[in-house]
Amino acid sequence: MLDAAESYVTEDGRTIGGVVMEMKNITLRFGGVVAIKDISFDIREGEIRAIIGPNGAGKSSMLNVISGFYVPQEGEVWFHGAKRPPMKPYEVARQGIARTFQNIALFDGMSVLDNVMTGRLNYMKAGMFQQAFWKGRAEKEEVENREVVEKIIDFLEIQAIRKTPVARLPYGLKKRVELARALAAEPKLLLLDEPMAGMNVEEKEDMSRFILDVNDEFGTTIALIEHDMGVVMDLSDRVVVMDYGKKIGDGTPDEVRNNQDVIDAYLGVSHD
């Protein structure tokens, strides 16, 4: 087992750093329903960490705990070596965590560009009056932020839809726009909630490519939820497997693939 501060180099030559986020004995309940039961795992700097599991396993709840949207009844979230107190989502965002949603949450009537610009919110300091009258630092900020956004648009190859209202886009592209918006926040930790749900093979391949590129190019740490096993195994460095709110596996894709509990959860067991 690696030490929390130790780093290592992967087969494809990427350096994975020490632990940036650690979940310690998390339990999350909604009334009498236990969504997550005593789960612990960590996320290392620069890695792609997947959380998988069948429907209803508690994956999205887990992501919401990481993003600070849910506060667990028991357990602790440690981020950059400090225990994180309960926070408002915008405070979490300021810590450098950005996310995408399973059921796309974009502003439908706004253009792709404007949607991605909203990801820069934390970098805009000009007040309402300055913004409204285009005075003071408002203009300078807009230009700077637009530059960052344009580089992301170029990176994700969505130049052609820059001015298109999001509502008119097909599903696969909306997902990409969501990724763009999350990237616009220049996150240190990027959370992706089922980035490939409902996509066809080609769209999945594109999305996988972009996720790898983001990780490679910006060194962003990525935690993602996905239930397409094939994709997860190809993408991630380490995988947490959940079933009925419990952790049933944790390790490299190969370790997880050969874990009997995981096989049972995915393929089912006979009850005779």
Binding site residues, another protein, CB under 8 A: 13, 113, 146-147, 150-151, 153-155, 157, 159-160, 162-163, 213, 216-217
Q: How far is CA 266 from the centre of its chain?
A: 23
- Shortest distance in whole angstroms from residue 162 CB to another protein: 6
- DSSP state string for 81-92: TEEPPP--HHHH
Nearer to another protein, 3 or 147 (CB): 147
- Shortest distance in whole angstroms from residue 150 CB to another protein: 4
- Shortest distance in whole angstroms from residue 217 CB to another protein: 7
What lies within 8 Å, CB to CB, of 24 at 6+ separation is: 40, 75, 76, 77, 78
Nearer to another protein, 215 or 221 (CB): 215
Q: Are 126 and 138 in contact (CB under 8 A)?
A: yes
* Position 92, amino acid: V
Nearer to another protein, 93 or 113 (CB): 113
E strands within 136-235? 189-193, 221-225
- Shortest distance in whole angstroms from residue 197 CB to another protein: 19
Nearer to another protein, 205 or 261 (CB): 205
Nearer to another protein, 154 or 255 (CB): 154
Closest to 144 in 3D by CA, of 129, 161, 125: 125
- Shortest distance in whole angstroms from residue 161 CB to another protein: 8
Pairing of strands 97-100, 189-193: parallel
Closest to 235 in 3D by CA, of 49, 12, 102: 49
Nearer to another protein, 11 or 217 (CB): 217
- Shortest distance in whole angstroms from residue 160 CB to another protein: 4
What lies within 8 Å, CB to CB, of 164 at 6+ separation is: 111, 112
- Shortest distance in whole angstroms from residue 203 CB to another protein: 15
Residue corresponding to tokens 């028991």? 74
Nearer to another protein, 105 or 160 (CB): 160
- DSSP state string for 34-72: EEEEEEEEEEETT-EEEEE-STTSSHHHHHHHHTTSS--
